[in-house]
Structure 1
Amino acid sequence: MNKIAAVVLATVCAVVALVWALNLQDEPDLSAPAVAVAATPELLARGAYLARAGNCAACHTTRGGMPYAGGRGIDTPFGTVYSSNLTPDTKTGIGNWSSAEFWRALHNGRSKDGRLLYPAFPYTSYTAVTRADSDALYAYLHSLPATEQAATPHALRWPFKLQPALAVWRALYFRPGSFQPEATQSAEWNRGAYLVRGLGHCGACHTARNALGASSSLDLAGGMIPVQNWYAPSLTSPHEAGVADWPRDDIVRLLQTGVAPRGSVLGPMAEVVLQSTQYLSAEDLGAMATYLQALPPSAPEPRRDAAPATARVLQRGAQLYGQQCAQCHGEQGQGVAGAYPALAGNRAVTMASTANLVQTVLGGGYAPATAGNPRPFGMPPYVLVLNDSDIAAVLTHIRSAWGNQAAGVSELDVNRLRASQGQ
């Protein structure tokens, strides 16, 4: 028994040592004297631009609150994480942080005191941000008005709230890194890759997560957004949101205005365009387009097994479509150019995941009001107009009419999403 206990103890010690070592990988040296970052007008402007590119204000600002003062709750499958105060307040913000400590937060996912940060703050992507860009962000944030706003304690379940549990997660799923340009690619492609993989953290939504909330890769092949229950479509699949065959200018237009001839953004992506990508330069948006067009295509979308819709359901769906939808989307699902999207041949309608369709019918569909599209057309919510059976029927009709050949939507699919939104 003593030998077994000794082996177990040795194994535990070895695992602890490995976890500890993996969590200390690539740690910056904070013992050196702090080097002041010269806050020139050019650096501050660059930092403001980078903060837009990272959409930092979206998470670090509460509704109606002071910009970057934190306190916004970010719901996760493990509880709620509250964002931190990024203003230069010395008591509750980052006023006492050095540029090296700020860099460590981005690159290593550690706070000023060495505490491990929860990956709701996407340091798994931000680790690719360069030190120069980190310093520009630091200078910009320190130029903001200091706002005293104490941190709201996280509301995470046990054991996810424990630092040792987070250390194990990081040992399994996180390695600090840096962006390495690919010599075989153009400068534009590399700039696009840097923005998409790093500050843009596109993979945070467009890559599937496992049961522990980790992405095994940054393949951008699509995934459900936890808790929000919107599906971030694959950026590599021609059946979902792949743009390999789009004109490059249309991709730029979509990211800049929220609408393009072959698609528009709704849901969480509308917020990204509204607060982030519409402010990026045409050069950076073009670089992102170049990178996205060059992504390796994913395998063809598998057909979802589903029982064929009954004639009664299709008839009911067609009737509801004529009553509720045809006025805008057309009798044949042809839509109205520049206003209401066509539903015939629309891959947002026919892709395997129906989550976004149901969410749009329940809560309405609104493109962002951007400088390039200041008065977008929208779709009203039907949450109080149609019941689960009605929504399932009309969406089943839309997915099978006018040449569309997608599986139907079940009443259970609708009910689950309605319940998840408390509607």
Structure 2
Amino acid sequence: MNLSFRLFAWFALSLAAMAASAASDAERGKYLATLGDCAACHTSRNGAPFSGGRVVPTPFGAIPAPNLTPDRETGLGSWTADDFYRAMHSGIGHDGKSLYPAFPFTSYAKTTRADTDAIFAYLRSLPAVKRADTPNTLRWPYRMRSLMGAWRALYFDEGEYVQRERHGKAWNRGAYLVEGLGHCNECHARRNSFGAMVQEPFLAGGIVPVQNWYAPDLSMGANGGLAGWSEADVVALLKTGRSHKGTALGPMAEVVMRSTQHLDDVDLAAMATYLKSLPDRDPPRQRESAVNARELALKGEKIYAQQCAGCHAADGRGKGDAYPPLDGNGSVTDPTGINTIRIVLSGGFAPVTKDNPRPYSMPPFTQKLNDEDAAAVVTYIRQAWSNKAASVSPADVRAYRSTPGS
């Protein structure tokens, strides 16, 4: 075998190894992009994957999600891996300008360089699609990017996830996923008037901006939104959209459908391990919304017997895997009552998943129940059995009967 042939063989093997490594990175990046639910914002209805076009509503105006395909003019084609890492880690775009925090760089900053490189490799492997961004419609002064410097100084801590040595491998993996790419706090936290997340207590629940659903407290301890749940219950919900304790509805149904059902069992278990460690909460403050709460609940009991008990049972414990329990259900007893009102009015639609391809759904009752009737049955459900949540009023129902974000 002559020298030139050996050099050619070495070169060919090197190229094959590089191609295999790139393919492996892209495949891992696909998994990580799914974990981060990137397609939820960066893919429009009937649009090419990750080609942008979807407008993300915020309380300050709408922001179009950009094209992430490798088109050189309108996408990431002229970006480098360093550019992408800076966007994910620092919230700075290819042009050097600050990105708006509708892009959750405040969470993605915790992602390691190896993982951001893998996601970038996956995005670079996609077909290039030419699709220019549309201008944002942010109101003044929120559209002024120069103000982002002050916002970042007040509310953004840059830095990758740091392993907590006092915890084990599974806990740290779960913390990395929940706090970072999973960006759970972006929904499950209150926000201040400047749109920044209130970090303490962590994952303590909050109203999802514009969509107007309540993302519950994720503590599994006393008074938490997942009190009484086991780690297996959490894994089941994230994997199938349902568990013995409840069903994913509203925005969480889309998260399960697009993202968490595709995660491997080890990562799902790690996330549950981390959530299990969240501290107990103080008892929630209860504020009665209805003056005639007792009379409403009595009326609601009759409506429940007629309209709801056939599926959810007279004792509120539900029926098997088909109809979730209402007794002890954190989505029923959340501090606001928003979710229960909206589900009674608009129905409840669980996600279609590979392990639950034909989920049961709840029909809407907006045509059957007026505001007082809906308030009555919601008040009853929130105060029956072991539930001890505040009442809701007909005015509360009226506010969400035609609310945006349905």
Same fold, judged at TM 0.5 (above) = yes
Q: Does the Cα contact within 8 Å between 1:309 and 1:396 map onto a contact in 2? A: no
Distance 1:235 1:268 in 2: 15
Report the Cα offset of residue 420 of structure 1: 2.6
Return closer, same or farther for 1:389/1:149 CA change in 2, 3 Å cut-off: same
Report the Cα offset of residue 93 of structure 1: 0.4
* Residue type of the alignment partner of 1:207: A
Q: 1:151 aligns with which of 100, 110, 133?
A: 133
Give runs of aligned pairs for residues 81-230 of structure 1, distance below 5 A: 81-217=63-199, 219-230=202-213
Return closer, same or farther for 1:240/1:378 CA change in 2, 3 Å cut-off: farther
Report the Cα offset of residue 293 of structure 1: 0.6
The residue matched to 1:405 in structure 2 has which SS? coil
Return closer, same or farther for 1:242/1:346 CA change in 2, 3 Å cut-off: closer
Q: Does the Cα contact within 8 Å between 2:289 and 2:393 map onto a contact in 1? A: no
Report the Cα offset of residue 415 of structure 1: 1.4
Q: 2:326 aligns with which of 343, 366, 370?
A: 343
* Residue type of the alignment partner of 1:335: G
State the TM-score, normalized to the length of structure 1: 0.87
The residue matched to 2:172 in structure 1 has which SS? helix
Give runs of aligned pairs for residues 263-412 of structure 1, distance below 5 A: 263-306=246-289, 309=292, 312-412=295-395
The residue matched to 1:105 in structure 2 has which SS? helix
Corresponding residue of 1:14: none
Corresponding residue of 2:10: none
Return closer, same or farther for 1:338/1:45 CA change in 2, 3 Å cut-off: same
Corresponding residue of 1:241: 225
Report the Cα offset of residue 307 of structure 1: 5.2
Return closer, same or farther for 1:153/1:409 CA change in 2, 3 Å cut-off: same
Distance 1:195 1:306 in 2: 38
Report the Cα offset of residue 402 of structure 1: 3.0
The residue matched to 1:74 in structure 2 has which SS? strand
Report the Cα offset of residue 254 of structure 1: 1.4
Report the Cα offset of residue 308 of structure 1: 5.8
Give the aligned length. Answer: 387
Q: 2:245 aligns with which of 225, 244, 262?
A: 262
Distance 2:184 2:351 in 1: 18
Return closer, same or farther for 1:310/1:194 CA change in 2, 3 Å cut-off: closer
Q: Does the Cα contact within 8 Å between 1:240 and 1:351 map onto a contact in 2? A: no
Aligned residues: CA RMSD: 2.0
State the TM-score, normalized to the length of structure 2: 0.90
**Sequence identity, in percent?**
50
Corresponding residue of 2:5: none
Report the Cα offset of residue 291 of structure 1: 0.7
Distance 2:380 2:310 in 1: 16
Return closer, same or farther for 1:343/1:147 CA change in 2, 3 Å cut-off: same
The residue matched to 2:196 in structure 1 has which SS? coil
The residue matched to 1:51 in structure 2 has which SS? helix
Q: Does the Cα contact within 8 Å between 1:222 and 1:234 map onto a contact in 2? A: yes
Return closer, same or farther for 1:306/1:358 CA change in 2, 3 Å cut-off: closer
Q: Does the Cα contact within 8 Å between 2:293 and 2:391 map onto a contact in 1? A: no
* Residue type of the alignment partner of 2:226: G
Distance 1:154 1:49 in 2: 30
* Residue type of the alignment partner of 1:192: G
The residue matched to 1:94 in structure 2 has which SS? coil
Q: Does the Cα contact within 8 Å between 2:223 and 2:280 map onto a contact in 1? A: no
Corresponding residue of 1:65: 47
Distance 2:354 2:103 in 1: 29
* Residue type of the alignment partner of 2:37: N
The residue matched to 2:331 in structure 1 has which SS? helix
Q: Is 1:415 the counterpart of 2:398 in the alignment?
A: yes
Q: Does the Cα contact within 8 Å between 1:235 and 1:241 map onto a contact in 2? A: yes
Distance 2:405 2:160 in 1: 41
Distance 2:171 2:21 in 1: 30
Corresponding residue of 1:3: none
Give runs of aligned pairs for residues 22-37 of structure 1, distance below 5 A: none
Higher mean C-alpha displacement, 137-146 vs 404-413: 404-413
Higher mean C-alpha displacement, 343-352 vs 260-269: 343-352
Q: After superposition, what is the alpha-carbon deviation per residue over 1:340-371, rounded to whole angstroms, capped at 9, x for unaligned?
A: 12223333222322011111112211111111
Report the Cα offset of residue 179 of structure 1: 0.6
The residue matched to 1:348 in structure 2 has which SS? coil
Distance 1:193 1:403 in 2: 32
Report the Cα offset of residue 392 of structure 1: 0.5
For structure 1, the residue ranges without an aligned partner over 5 or more in a row are 1-35
Q: Does the Cα contact within 8 Å between 1:308 and 1:408 map onto a contact in 2? A: no
Q: Does the Cα contact within 8 Å between 2:216 and 2:330 map onto a contact in 1? A: no
Distance 1:115 1:149 in 2: 21
Report the Cα offset of residue 322 of structure 1: 2.7
For structure 2, the residue ranges without an aligned partner over 5 or more in a row are 1-17
Q: After superposition, what is the alpha-carbon deviation per residue over 1:51-109, rounded to whole angstroms, capped at 9, x for unaligned?
A: 00100001000111111001111111100011000000111000110000011100111
Q: Does the Cα contact within 8 Å between 1:102 and 1:138 map onto a contact in 2? A: yes
Q: Does the Cα contact within 8 Å between 1:173 and 1:216 map onto a contact in 2? A: no
Report the Cα offset of residue 312 of structure 1: 4.3
Report the Cα offset of residue 207 of structure 1: 1.2
